[in-house]
Structure formats: C-alpha cells, structure tokens
C-alpha cells in the first residue's frame, strides 16, 4: 500500500510541474540541458568547491574518466531511446538491438578507415548518413520476414540475428578483418580555436557534447513521432495488435517502420561510437550488451522517452560508479570486482518495488492498472 | 520540489558557465603542482581484464604486478607506490574511459598493460598523446609496434617470434609429418597459427573453434581422422585443455603444441595431469632459475596459486617501473627515457629487457623456449634456436 | 567446405551431435516448463545448470576425488556418481526455487508486467553467475574422471563410447519419466491446467503457487541431471559456463515449440546434430552461426516451433 501512496505523491509532483506556466517549464528544461553540458568539466566541481571523488561529490566516477563514462552512458541512453521505439512504443520484444549498432559502427569503419579493405577513406561526416541508411535497410531486411512472429518468438529471432552478425564479423577475415578488427577509423571533423582537432583521443568531452546534442535532437524527433499518426498506430499495436488490424491500422507496415526507425537510431549511435573508438572488432558487440540495452529500457519504464533515458543512464553509469564505491564510503575494500553482482541485485530489488519501471509512461501505467483490475479474482484465491 | 531543484541546478549551471574561464585556469595550475615531492606516492597502473570472460588471464598479470609493488613497499615503507587497477574486462569498448582516467591522474607514471591487442589499439593512442609510458606483458600483435607510438613497449616477443619458433620445434624436434592446426579465431590465436603454417608448409588439415565452446567433438573427429601426429593450437588454456581432453578420450596419441596463451597452470587444471602430460608449450620467455629469484615461491605464498601465463613478465616489467621510481623518475617523460635506456635482466623470466626504438624487445634478447608438461608441472624443455 | 571429411566423419558427427543435443534438451526442459506455465523466459535457468556443475565438482572433491586421482572401481564409481547426481539435482532445484521465491513471486503478487519478469530474470542471472565468479576467482575447474571413456561398439566405423550411451540413455529415461509425470499424475494435471488457463484452474481449486513452485523444482531437477551428465562427459566448469548452454538450450526449446516437453527433446537433438554437421562441413567457426540460422529459418516456416506450444494440451 505504501507503494500506491508514494505513487500518488509522484503523480502530484508531476501534476504540479505540468500546471506551471510554459515559460517556467522551458527554463527548467534549458537549465537541465545546460547542467548536462557542463557536467563533465572538472572545473565545475572545483568551482563548486567539491573535491572530486570526495564525500561531497560522490557521483564522480573515481576509477574511470568521468567524461568518458558520461560519453559511454550517453551512448547507452541513445541506444535505449532508439530501442524504446521498438519495445516501448510498439511493444515488440527485440533482444538483438546491438546488431544494428554493430552494423552502423562497421559501416563507418569500412568507409572511413585507411586500413579498411574498401580503401575509400571518406570523411566521418559523409559516412554517418550512409551508416544510418544501411542500418535502416538492414532493419527492413530483418523485419520483413521476422515481424510476422509474435512476442517471445520475435525476441529469440532478433537475438539470433544479432548473434549471427557478431559471429560473422568475428570470422570474416576478408572485408571485416575478423577479430583483428578495423583500426584507424576517422574522428568527427572540426578544429579547435588553436588549430588542434576538436575530436582527439585523450579528451572525451567533445564526443560527449556531440552525442548529447544528438540525443536532444532525437528526443524532439521522437516526441513528435510519438504524437503523430505513426505514433498512435504504434500504441494501438502495442495495446492490441488484432484489434488495431481490424480497425484498419496496417500493423505490419507500422511495425516495420518502428523496426527501421529503431535500427536507424542504433546505426547512428554505432557511427558515433566508431568515430570515437577508432578501432572496431566484434568484441564490442557482445550479446550481453544487447540484453543490457533491453534491460535499460524496461528498468526505466518502457513506453516513455524519459524512462528510456533514465534506464539507459543508470544501466551504464551504476556499474562504472561502483568501481570506486569502496573508496567513496571509505572502505579499504575494492568493490570493482563486485560491481556487476551489486548491479544485478539492484535490478531485482528495483523491479520488486517498481515493477512498472522507474518512470512509467502514463498511458502504459494505465494499461497496467487495467491488468491489475482484470486480475483481481485470481488474487482473491487463498494461496500459500 | 522539482522546479526548485531545476532552478537551483539552472542557477548553478549558468553562474558556472559565466566564471568558466577563470576557473579553468585555476584547475590547470592546481593539478600539476604536486610532482616535486621526490619519487614518492606515485602510482603504477595495471590495465587488463579482472572481471568478465578473460579475467583468468588478467588476474595472473595483476598478481605479478601486485607482488612486485608489495615487495617494493615493504622495502621502502616510507615511500610507497600504489597499484591502480583498470579493469577493462578485455572489452575494447571499455578501454577509453579507463585509459583517459589513467592519463588524467598525474601520479600514474607507468602502465603495465594493456593486456590484449584489441584494447591496445584503442588505449595506446590515448597513452601516446599523454606521453604515459606503457609496457605490455601480453599484447603480441606485431602491428602494434608499427604505429609510431613513442610510449609503446612490449615485454615479450611478438607473434612473429613465437609462431615461427613453434613451427620450427614441430618440424625439427618433433619431426612430425602430419600436423593439424586449430585456432580459436582470436587475433592472437589466428595470428600464431598463420606464422606456424608459414614454417611447416603443408598441414594435414586446419579448423577453427569458438571461445567458450566446450564440445569439440566435430574437430576431434577431423583430427583423429586425419591421422595427424601433432596438433598446433593457437588460443588460450581453457579451450586447449578441453580439446586435448576430448582428443585423448577419442584415442588420439599425438602431441599437442601450443603457445604462451596455454602456458598456464590452469591448462593442467582443466585437462588433468594425465591428459596434459607431454604437451609442448612455447613461450617467448626463459625459465626462471633458482639463482635468479624466488618469484615462483613468493607468488605462491602471496596468492596461494601457481603463477599463470604472463604473471612473471608482469612482475619483471613492474620492477622496471619501480626501479625508475627508486631512481627518482617522478615524471612521465623521465620514466619514458628511463625505460628507453633500460638494459637489465628480469629476475622472474630471465629475459634481458632492452627495447628497440619502436618499443619491441631487442630481437637479440627474444628467446623462445619450449616447455613440457611432466607430472602436472610445466618444466623447461629446450630453447628453440633462431632460424 | 570439405565434403570428403564430412562424409568420412558423418556417423561420428551424428553420435556426438546427439550426445550434445541430449544435454541441450534436458536444460531446455526447464525453459519450456516455466514458459508453459508462466509465459516467462527464465534467463536465470542457465545459472541453475551452472550451480549443478559446481555442486557435482564439490561433491566429488568432498568424497576425495580430484582430476588427478585414478578413476574409481565400479562400486565406488556408482556411489560417487549417484551421490553427485543427487547433490547436483538438489542444488539446481534449490537454486531454481530460490529464484522463484525471492525474485518472481513478489512480482506476481504485484501483478507486474511480463517485461519486469524478464529483467528480473536477467538480474538474477547476473547475481548468481557473478557470485560464483567472485567466489571461484573466475578460474576454470577440471573435474575428476569418474567414468573412463571406453569404446563399446562401432556403428558404420564410428566408435560409440559408454559415456555417450549413458548420456543418451539417461536423457531419454528422464524425458519419459517427466512426460509421464506431467500427463498421468495428479500434480501433472495441475501443471497442465495452469498452463492452459491459470484463472480457471485457480477457480477449480488448483493452488497456482504450488504448481509454479513444482514447475521450478522439475526444471531444476532436469538441469541438475544435465549438469551431472555434463560433468561426467566434459569434466569442466567455470562460473560463466551456463551462459552458452542456456542460450543453446533456450534456442532448442523454441525450435521444438516452447512450452512443449517433447518439442524440447526434439529441438535439443536437432540443434546438437545440426551444429555438429555444420562444424564438420564448414569448420568449427560456423557452429553457433549455423545453429542460429536453423532457428531463424525454421521459425519463418513454423512460427511456433516444430511441434507448437502445447504444455496445456492433453498431448503435452
């Protein structure tokens, strides 16, 4: 019962927020965005008087570079936002999302690297749209035969496809250069004031700002998409595919669109990742990561963009932060080895207390409430 | 509450942006000033997998590094060196964040690692830009030394020294007529097999296996069917142990030869003494002799386990850094110069560490030994002559 | 592609493929049973298997065997294997039930959405695997040789060993027993009833929680048997050994029609053979790839697997 009371409070807060004048809400959002932009700067914490990694500012990752962790976290957030189109909006269970990420990264690597067997050495910026188109096409190719499957069968088939992509990349010694991988992938362009390239290898901050900007653009696009005809069709498919079909929604077409758009975001993420990483081999696209992205979407509360963002951020950031957790709480004990264990425990506990996700989508929450009502007779049966 | 929080954050954000210039200057001057206090309180980083699939390899290297540092710290209790672990999980995608962290900590004057070639491709450019010297105990991809990274050093011979030597052993010592080659598709394993094939010429057959695989029945049938008397396996100890076990169960009588990725106590642990008996393991290292040091015993005492592959190399190269620190080399440039000029034998491996300008071990110093499994122990067999 | 080699080894590839497939099938039963009743992909089942292998190893070590002791005489071997079997089955069942009670039951009480179960399953899998990883220093472990491999007879030139017969025999016996249990016994009827229509079954007086518990116990017991057979056959374990086996077994369950007991057997054997043929024909690096191709292609033509979902149907 405490859970519902808590939820009430949260809903109240949400209500108050949406009752605020539009200007205030925009200013609040702008401040939040500005905050994210200055987050990786060391001087920010020094200016605030928080020594890094101290008990005053415990959220700084002390064992891996904060800006780089923020970049990786942002990669995960973008992936979660992309997968949310498929899993959250449309309700299709996709366990192989990393396959698209791999396709995007490999496309950029092949087109831009002087070490690639294609020997094209395109600039990074020219390769990105190609990567997006290629992943979109691969999404359609994958989706056309598989989207007739439902639920868990779709999950295992997408998982199979992602594994096929990875295994093929690992064993293809020709174009993809096997496990030796493709080195010397080009960075995004752009000089700094002093003429040095903005996107180098030592500093992750420019990459973080780049991907943060991309995330913001994608979020706006997604919000519009969600409220468009396409978005409403997706929700209809999620709630009841058969009913949607009968009401005249061409479900297959819209499912394919969801797949293609999700894939395109995955490909874009892969392209940015390749541009920063400079080296690509199949080790970066393990199945475990694919499952983690799905976990991120659901942890945050599938269906809403906010949920995807928060889920994605926590899924990457928490384990990285746990590396230095022992130090932060002043223990002479290295928590790095336990970080995945602790993360697993957090998932279990979080799901028990917030099964609908951290920030459930309002409409989704209503669906669950319906389910709950329907399920009442079953609960009244004395059990245990 | 939420809008309040947003307001506070926004206010902080905007004011921070305004004063950013001044603050940035302050930050730059603040972080570098602590370097003058002699060569104390410095850090040596270990970069490699400590969790994840490849952790079994990384932990031995970390232990070797830790042992060297712990010994140094007991001898120099007033001026300690700290070991900082960068657990990459062997995943190139995780490498940049860790490498940038190491680079951003001015107290880190040297890195033992990165352990694998894949993560080296990603992390080494970062170390290079920051001038942070590294010595890798185990990344043996030949092309790593061709990238003009001035900070790169390799404490072992690369695949082009070990692979041909293993091939020569099979050809000249085992005198095997029919040789089957198998690799695990890793850059390391496939690279070794390529080099071995170049030396022995025609092979009786070749196949690939997958890492984490446990059922090798298909490749076992092929090897037994081919009538090969020797098998070269390019890969790591777990798969090697399982493959050999299943081969022996299928009645195969030949000899397995494998590289340093298998030269690990865990190989015998997986296969069992009886199965592992007679296996030849090559290693671009020399056997530890009693006169040279008590590494093996110290390691056992400290970690309650036999030192695994590259544990000894890690120990020796950590000692190079420690000698530099002892010598008062407290900056990265000094340390780099110290390593470039280094020329001394390591106590655990017996290898003389002298680096060429591209970071490779001096070819004259690269020795490749064949070890043999006898009675559950890896014992030195013979030094494989050059060419 | 190497046809000469492939056809030369064809009988041997078939036999070893069946043997591998049998272990997939036993693990697949756990996925299928839980899925049939709860519509849940129990990702943690791979760790249930892993716990079984470690239990077998530790039991044998406690009995004084290690990988370097000589294989015991027949009587002692029988005792050791049976004790190991009992321990592995008990430990696996206990692990499965613990996951159900600690992780899934609270979710069911709150009527959580199906996706929440999926994520909890992933979390539970992380926790168990990592706990063993930390506890065993992520080292690989060789196991004592309990039954030395002996060739009993040959079929078309392929040797058939005692262990292969044991693995296949035990699998078929366990499958038949489970099939009979689900189809004939009172408890089995409860399982089928809940699988068919949980609400109606509850109204008819079937205790749903007890049935669910039973399903986890049965899945765990089967995983325990698989773990023991695995230990006898491959003599090896590691903290992450469950991941790949779990993935394959899950694929096998889907291949045969998830929720269908006989489908799990069929899917397991088929997957085992197909992988071996692919490894023989194209090379070992195509093994997993081919497994997934088979799965994807098959689902295109039979979207609910070879035998269809049917734990609830009378046929089971």
Interface contact flag, C113 A287, Cβ < 8 Å: no
| Residues B205 and B319 both lie in one domain | no
Give the three-state DSSP class for B14.
Answer: helix
Domain that holds residue B171: 159-283+369-384
| Interchain contact C243–B (C-beta under 8 A) | yes
Domain that holds residue A231: 39-373
Interface contact flag, A348 C120, Cβ < 8 Å: yes
Residue A318 has pLDDT above 80, yes or no: yes
Interface contact flag, B251 C284, Cβ < 8 Å: no
Residues in chain A closer than 8 A to B85 (CB atoms):
334, 336
Residue A10 has pLDDT above 50, yes or no: yes
Any domain includes B26: no
Q: Choose between A375 and C137: higher pLDDT.
A: C137
The pLDDT-based confidence of B339 (bands split at 50, 70, 90) is very high
The pLDDT-based confidence of A151 (bands split at 50, 70, 90) is confident
The pLDDT-based confidence of A198 (bands split at 50, 70, 90) is confident
Q: What's the token pair of residue A182?
A: 């493709």
List Cα–Cα distances, B13 to A32, A35, C144, C306, in angstroms: 8, 5, 63, 60
Rounded Cα distance between A274 and A268, Å, is: 10
Any domain includes B16: no
Those residues with Cβ within 8 angstroms of residue B9's Cβ, 6 or more apart along the chain or in another chain: A31, A32, A35
What pLDDT is stored for residue B118 in this prediction?
85
Q: Which residues pair with B87 in a beta bridge?
A: B48
| Interchain contact B272–A (C-beta under 8 A) | no
List Cα–Cα distances, C219 to A142, B312, C53, in angstroms: 33, 45, 15
Rounded Cα distance between C265 and C253, Å, is: 8
Of A153, A163, A347, the CB nearest to C254: A153
Residue B25 has pLDDT above 50, yes or no: no
Q: What's the token pair of residue A290?
A: 């694919």
pLDDT one-digit tens code per residue, A90-148: 988 888 899 999 999 999 999 999 888 888 889 999 999 999 999 999 999 988 888 88
Where b means 16+ CB within 10 Å and e means fewer, C89-100 reads bebbbbbbbbbb
Lowest mean pLDDT among B17-26, B190-199, B313-322: B17-26
Those residues with Cβ within 8 angstroms of residue C109's Cβ, 6 or more apart along the chain or in another chain: none
Residues in chain B closer than 8 A to C236 (CB atoms):
214, 238, 241-242, 245, 270
Of B86, B129, B141, the CB nearest to A201: B129
Rounded Cα distance between C44 and C38, Å, is: 14
Any domain includes B13: no
Residue B319 to chain A, least CA–CA distance (Å): 24
Percent of chain B scoring above 70 in pLDDT? 88
What pLDDT is stored for residue B288 in this prediction?
63
Interface contact flag, A30 B20, Cβ < 8 Å: no
Interface contact flag, A156 C250, Cβ < 8 Å: yes
Any domain includes B14: no
What pLDDT is stored for residue A55 in this prediction?
52
List Cα–Cα distances, B40 to B29, B304, B330, C270, in angstroms: 21, 30, 8, 64
Residue B235 to chain C, least CA–CA distance (Å): 13
What pLDDT is stored for residue B210 in this prediction?
87
What mean pLDDT value characterizes chain A? 83
Rounded Cα distance between C110 and A143, Å, is: 34
Structural domain total, chain B: 2
Residues in chain A closer than 8 A to B122 (CB atoms):
277-279
Rounded Cα distance between B3 and B9, Å, is: 10
Residue A257 has pLDDT above 90, yes or no: yes
Structural domain total, chain A: 1
The pLDDT-based confidence of A53 (bands split at 50, 70, 90) is low
Cα A377–chain centre separation: 38
Residues in chain A closer than 8 A to B10 (CB atoms):
27-28, 30-32, 34-35
Mutate to test the interface with B, among C18, C137, C236 (most CBs of B within 10 A): C236
Interface contact flag, A278 B118, Cβ < 8 Å: no
Give the three-state DSSP class for C2.
Answer: coil
The pLDDT-based confidence of B57 (bands split at 50, 70, 90) is confident
What pLDDT is stored for residue C312 in this prediction?
54
Do residues B44 and B110 touch, judged by C-beta distance below 8 A? yes
Any domain includes A176: yes
What pLDDT is stored for residue B321 in this prediction?
94
Any domain includes B98: yes
Please, what are the domains in chain C? 3-144+157-301 (1.10.3470)
Those residues with Cβ within 8 angstroms of residue C43's Cβ, 6 or more apart along the chain or in another chain: A291, C118, C121, C122, C124, C125, C246
Any domain includes A202: yes
In sequence order, what DSSP letters do the residues of B367-378 get, joined into one string?
-EEEEEEETTEE
What pLDDT is stored for residue A215 in this prediction?
95
Q: Which residues pair with C158 in a beta bridge?
A: C155
| Residues B165 and B82 both lie in one domain | no
The pLDDT-based confidence of A303 (bands split at 50, 70, 90) is confident
The pLDDT-based confidence of B187 (bands split at 50, 70, 90) is confident
Interface contact flag, B272 C235, Cβ < 8 Å: yes
What pLDDT is stored for residue A172 in this prediction?
83
N residues, chain C: 316
- Pairing type for strands B42-48 and B205-208 reads unpaired
Q: Which residues pair with B110 in a beta bridge?
A: B44
Do residues A151 and A275 touch, judged by C-beta distance below 8 A? no
Please give the order of strands across the beta sheet that includes B108-112: B81-87, B42-48, B108-112, B134-135
Residue A331 has pLDDT above 80, yes or no: no
Rounded Cα distance between B84 and A93, Å, is: 41
| Interchain contact C161–B (C-beta under 8 A) | yes
The helix (run of H) or strand (run of E) holding residue C279 is helix C261-282
Nearest residue to B232 via CA among B273, B193, B284: B193
| Residues B51 and B119 both lie in one domain | yes
Interface contact flag, C123 A344, Cβ < 8 Å: yes
The helix (run of H) or strand (run of E) holding residue B191 is helix B187-200
Do residues A215 and A77 touch, judged by C-beta distance below 8 A? yes
Nearest residue to C15 via CA among C278, C219, C269, C289: C269
Those residues with Cβ within 8 angstroms of residue A264's Cβ, 6 or more apart along the chain or in another chain: A82, A132, A135, A136, A139
Residue A71 to chain C, least CA–CA distance (Å): 24
Residue A251 has pLDDT above 60, yes or no: yes
pLDDT one-digit tens code per residue, A207-240: 999 999 999 999 999 999 988 999 999 999 988 8
For residue B17, give the DSSP letter: H
Which chains share 3+ C-beta pairs under 8 angstroms with C?
A, B
Rounded Cα distance between B153 and C55, Å, is: 44
pLDDT one-digit tens code per residue, A262-273: 999 999 999 999
Q: What's the token pair of residue B195?
A: 């080099």
Nearest residue to C77 via CA among C195, C177, C189, C162: C162
Interface contact flag, B98 A65, Cβ < 8 Å: yes
Interface contact flag, C295 A155, Cβ < 8 Å: no
Give the three-state DSSP class for B381.
Answer: strand
Residue range B340-350: mean pLDDT, rounded: 86
State residue A204 phi and psi, 5-degree precision: -90, -10
Taking chain C (316 residues) in consecutive chunks of 10 residues, what is each chunk's mean pLDDT? 77 92 96 90 94 96 88 89 96 96 91 86 93 88 89 85 94 95 92 88 89 95 96 92 93 90 94 93 88 89 82 47
Residue A383 has pLDDT above 60, yes or no: no
Residue B107 to chain C, least CA–CA distance (Å): 29
Any domain includes B31: no
pLDDT one-digit tens code per residue, A99-109: 999 999 999 99
Nearest residue to A234 via CA among A215, A212, A252: A252
Any domain includes B8: no
| Residues B183 and B310 both lie in one domain | no
Do residues A322 and A342 touch, judged by C-beta distance below 8 A? yes
Interface contact flag, B269 C236, Cβ < 8 Å: no
The pLDDT-based confidence of A81 (bands split at 50, 70, 90) is very high
Do residues B16 and A48 touch, judged by C-beta distance below 8 A? yes
Rounded Cα distance between A158 and A94, Å, is: 6
| Residues B106 and B222 both lie in one domain | no
Do residues A244 and A251 touch, judged by C-beta distance below 8 A? yes
Q: What's the token pair of residue A327?
A: 């130090």
Rounded Cα distance between A152 and A252, Å, is: 17
Residue B325 has pLDDT above 50, yes or no: yes
What pLDDT is stored for residue C196 in this prediction?
86
Positive or negative CA dihedral for C19, C25, C28, C30? negative
Any domain includes B212: yes
Residue range B337-358: mean pLDDT, rounded: 88
Taking CA–CA distances from C24, the nearest residue in chain B reads B215
Q: Which residues pair with B258 in a beta bridge?
A: B233, B281
What mean pLDDT value characterizes chain B? 84
Residue B291 has pLDDT above 90, yes or no: no
User: Number of A:C CB contacts under 8 A?
Assistant: 144
Any domain includes A31: no
Residue A319 to chain C, least CA–CA distance (Å): 12
| Residues B166 and B217 both lie in one domain | yes
Any domain includes A315: yes
User: Number of B:C CB contacts under 8 A?
Assistant: 110
Terminal CA-CA length for chain A: 20
Terminal CA-CA length for chain B: 76
Interface contact flag, C126 A145, Cβ < 8 Å: no
CATH of the domain at A313: 1.10.3470
CATH of the domain at B61: 3.40.50.2300
Interface contact flag, A302 C208, Cβ < 8 Å: no
The helix (run of H) or strand (run of E) holding residue B24 is helix B20-32
């Amino acid at each position: 019962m405490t859970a519902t009371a808590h939820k009430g409070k949260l809903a109240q807060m949400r209500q108050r927020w949406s009752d605020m004048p539009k200007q205030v809400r925009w200013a609040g959002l702008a401040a939040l965005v500005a905050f994210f932009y200055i987050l990786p700067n060391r001087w920010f914490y020094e200016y605030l008087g928080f020594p890094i990694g101290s008990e005053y500012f415990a959220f700084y990752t002390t064992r891996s570079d904060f800006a780089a962790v923020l970049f990786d976290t942002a990669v995960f957030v973008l992936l979660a936002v992309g997968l949310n189109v498929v899993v959250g909006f449309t309700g299709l269970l996709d366990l192989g999302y990393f396959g698209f990420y791999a396709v995007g990264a490999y496309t950029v690597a092949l087109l831009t690297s002087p070490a690639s067997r294609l020997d094209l050495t395109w600039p990074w910026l020219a390769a990105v749209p190609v990567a997006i188109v290629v992943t979109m096409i691969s999404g359609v190719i994958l989706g056309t035969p598989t989207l007739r499957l439902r639920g868990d069968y779709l999950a295992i088939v997408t998982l199979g496809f992602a594994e096929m992509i990875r295994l093929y990349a690992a064993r293809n010694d020709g174009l993809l250069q096997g496990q030796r991988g493709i080195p010397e992938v080009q960075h995004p362009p752009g000089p700094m004031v002093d003429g040095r390239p903005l996107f180098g290898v030592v500093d992750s901050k420019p990459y973080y700002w780049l991907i943060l900007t991309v995330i913001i653009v994608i979020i706006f696009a997604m919000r519009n998409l969600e409220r468009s005809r396409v978005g409403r069709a997706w929700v209809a498919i999620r709630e009841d595919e058969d009913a949607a079909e009968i009401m005249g929604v061409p479900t297959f077409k819209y499912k394919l669109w969801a797949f293609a758009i999700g894939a395109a975001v995955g490909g874009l993420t892969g392209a940015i990742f390749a541009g920063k990483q400079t080296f690509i081999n199949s080790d970066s696209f393990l199945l475990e990561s694919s499952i983690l992205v799905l976990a991120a979407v659901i942890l945050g509360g599938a269906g809403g963009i906010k949920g995807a963002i928060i889920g994605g951020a926590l899924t990457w950031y928490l384990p990285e932060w746990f590396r230095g957790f022992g130090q932060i709480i002043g223990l002479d004990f290295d928590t790095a080895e336990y970080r995945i264990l602790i993360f697993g425990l957090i998932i279990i506990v979080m799901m028990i207390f917030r099964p609908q996700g951290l920030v459930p989508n309002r409409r989704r929450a209503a669906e669950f409430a319906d389910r709950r009502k329907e399920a009442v007779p079953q609960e009244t049966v004395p059990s245990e | 509450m939420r809008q309040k929080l947003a307001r506070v954050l926004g206010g902080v954000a905007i004011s921070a942006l305004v004063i950013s210039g001044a603050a940035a200057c302050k930050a730059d001057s603040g972080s570098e000033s602590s370097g003058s206090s002699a060569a104390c309180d410095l850090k040596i980083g270990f970069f490699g997998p400590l969790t994840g699939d490849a952790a079994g390899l990384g932990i031995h290297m970390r232990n070797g590094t830790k042992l060297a540092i712990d010994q140094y710290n007991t001898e120099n209790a007033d001026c300690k060196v700290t070991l900082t672990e960068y657990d990459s999980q062997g995943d190139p995608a995780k490498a940049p964040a860790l490498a940038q962290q190491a680079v951003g900590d001015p107290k880190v004057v040297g890195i033992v690692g990165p352990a694998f070639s894949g993560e080296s491709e990603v992390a080494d450019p970062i170390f290079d830009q920051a001038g942070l010297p590294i010595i890798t105990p185990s990344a043996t991809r030949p092309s790593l030394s061709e990238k003009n990274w001035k900070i790169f050093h390799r404490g072992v011979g690369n695949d082009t020294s070990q692979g041909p030597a293993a091939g020569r052993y099979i050809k000249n010592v085992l005198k095997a007529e029919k040789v089957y080659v198998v690799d695990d598709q890793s850059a390391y394993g496939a690279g070794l097999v390529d080099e071995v094939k170049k030396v022995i010429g025609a092979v009786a057959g070749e196949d690939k296996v997958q890492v984490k695989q446990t059922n090798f029945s298909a490749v076992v049938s092929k090897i037994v069917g081919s009538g090969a008397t020797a098998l070269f396996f390019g890969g790591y100890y777990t798969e090697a142990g399982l493959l050999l076990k299943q081969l022996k169960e299928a009645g195969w009588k030949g000899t397995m030869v494998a590289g340093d990725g298998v030269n690990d106590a865990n190989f015998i642990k997986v296969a069992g003494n009886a199965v592992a008996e007679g296996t030849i393991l090559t290693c671009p290292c020399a056997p530890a002799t009693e006169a040279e040091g008590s590494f093996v015993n110290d390691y056992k005492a400290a970690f309650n386990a036999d030192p695994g592959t590259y544990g000894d190399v890690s120990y020796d190269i950590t000692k190079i850094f420690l000698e530099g620190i002892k010598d008062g080399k407290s900056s990265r440039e000094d340390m780099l110069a110290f390593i470039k000029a280094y020329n001394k034998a390591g106590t655990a491996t017996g290898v003389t560490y002298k680096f060429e300008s591209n970071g490779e071990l001096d070819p004259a110093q690269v020795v490749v030994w064949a070890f043999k499994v006898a009675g559950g122990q890896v014992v030195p067999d013979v030094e494989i002559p050059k060419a | 592609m190497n046809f000469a080699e492939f056809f030369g080894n064809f009988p041997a590839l078939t036999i070893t493929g069946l043997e591998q497939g049998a272990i997939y099938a036993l693990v697949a039963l756990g996925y299928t049973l839980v899925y049939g009743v709860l519509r849940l992909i129990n990702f943690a089942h791979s760790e249930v298997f892993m716990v079984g292998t470690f239990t077998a190893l530790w039991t044998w070590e406690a009995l004084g065997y290690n990988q370097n002791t000589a294989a015991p005489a027949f009587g002692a071997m029988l005792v050791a294997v049976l004790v190991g079997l009992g321990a592995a089955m008990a430990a696996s069942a206990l692990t499965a039930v613990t996951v159900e009670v600690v992780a899934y039951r609270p979710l069911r009480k709150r009527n959580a959405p199906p996706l929440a179960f999926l994520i909890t399953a992933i979390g539970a899998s992380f926790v168990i695997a990592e706990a063993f990883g930390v506890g065993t220093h992520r080292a690989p472990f060789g196991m004592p040789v309990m039954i030395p491999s002996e060739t009993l007879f040959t079929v078309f030139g392929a040797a058939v060993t005692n262990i292969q017969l044991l693995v296949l025999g035990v699998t078929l016996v366990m499958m038949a027993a489970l099939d009979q249990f689900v189809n004939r016994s009172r408890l089995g009827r409860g399982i089928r009833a809940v699988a068919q229509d949980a609400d109606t079954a509850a109204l008819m007086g079937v205790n749903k929680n007890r049935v669910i518990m039973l399903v986890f116990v049965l899945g765990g017991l089967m995983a325990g048997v698989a773990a023991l057979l695995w230990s006898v056959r491959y003599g090896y374990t590691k903290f992450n050994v469950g991941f790949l086996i779990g993935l394959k077994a899950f694929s096998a369950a889907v291949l045969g029609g998830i929720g269908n007991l006989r489908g799990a057997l069929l899917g397991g054997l088929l997957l085992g053979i197909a992988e071996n043929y692919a490894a023989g024909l194209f090379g070992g690096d195509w093994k997993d790839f081919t497994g997934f191709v088979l799965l994807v292609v098959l689902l295109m033509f039979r979207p609910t697997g070879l035998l269809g979902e049917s734990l609830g149907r009378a046929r089971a």
